[in-house]
Structure 1
């Protein structure tokens, strides 16, 4: 590849990078892993004769999706639900636009729901409903029929729709709002989300890193304001939580006590054994 062509290809790839990174983040739920997946796509592109590629955006979408799919499958074994017939296939034409609106409304809570999906369900939903990739392309990526690709997306929509209802969704929204306010330094919003007598409890490992117990919502708000930029919404024992991940491994875990629509307690855990168990459970969860 001559230098001029290589430079042009690099520019074209850089123009696609933000979209590819956003796609990979939705698929993997981890920014560092997503960036690695996009970089791997660039390496594959640099070894490819780009002149043979009809549509570079479509080619890159396929490559990044397959890289992410391999990572999702490596995290956990394929689940039986991927192979069972979809008993509700008659409803496979439920509205993707409705699901997309729902997904947008869930914000970070969507990441939690995506973790409950099988890799094909997750890929089909994210690609089609969030990034408008046609089912014919999704079927090719998954090496399945067009009908099964539609079924995976439909099943994902129903799970997301179900998770959007009830108390768990309310808790997800509350914790997601707390993380957003923390990152944005919105002290007033943090105060509104925390009970006045809220407590922060840290374990010995977190204390060794400089964290300390706090006893009022105001002190907690002051501590978290402008922070938590690397934390993401997750679940622990079916409850809304937050985790700071680095290179696919949990480094800090935050669990929340919620009562009366406000956060009453935050437990900060940096214990290596607890974090390792969380990482293992995340990689094998249904």
Structure 2
């Protein structure tokens, strides 16, 4: 505990360094999950699928409900578990109709932008099996609605909850939103480190997720709730296989289309958050 106290003391006045440390710890726990997945990979597919879901949530529950808040005492020192939940605003639901609508509308903006980019840059294929079909290698099928609870819950607790709270205590809201979005985008480098794949695709993903992160962070600040970012994150991830099902022939055109569409949903998303929260403020 003395070592933990020393670490906590060193990072207390270094919010950006603290945030980078937390991202690094998150990565380490994800690598642990990948290792455990390797141990159970030979199990029958149905058992592997559900056991993988259990492993993800067990490990990340330990990380975000004990290791970070209780052991390392982030984002606030000497916090109880209840104080932690209040500090990251996971217990703030109301006005629930506004929050539900806001999260849903932003997800629809991202999904429509993605669909348009894929139609412009490639040969888009509408296939409901991508989200309603049987799970198979390379296609989660209906499990997309289950698996995507994992990033929607835990990544939002991490970035909009813990990290954003740390950043906003030291920096202006604008700077905190920008830093949080950039860290959120950089975090997705884990997809390349773990799964490999095309590096340019990963760079594009980092760019787009950073922009999504800007809006989600702004949404969190304006609504003072984790609910709308979680809803937007979940719906976007769950339905992405449907709108991203395209064969891309011209990568240069695809990059240009992606940049344009990302900038569109970034500005529309920020405007949406501003208008919907402004209306709520005017009612008060």
Q: TM-score, normalised by structure 2?
A: 0.25
Structure (1 or 2) with the larger CA radius of gyration = 1
More strand as a share of residues: 1
More helix as a share of residues: 2
The structure, 1 or 2, with the larger RCO (C-alpha pairs under 8 Å, 6+ apart) is 2
Q: TM-score, normalised by structure 1?
A: 0.25
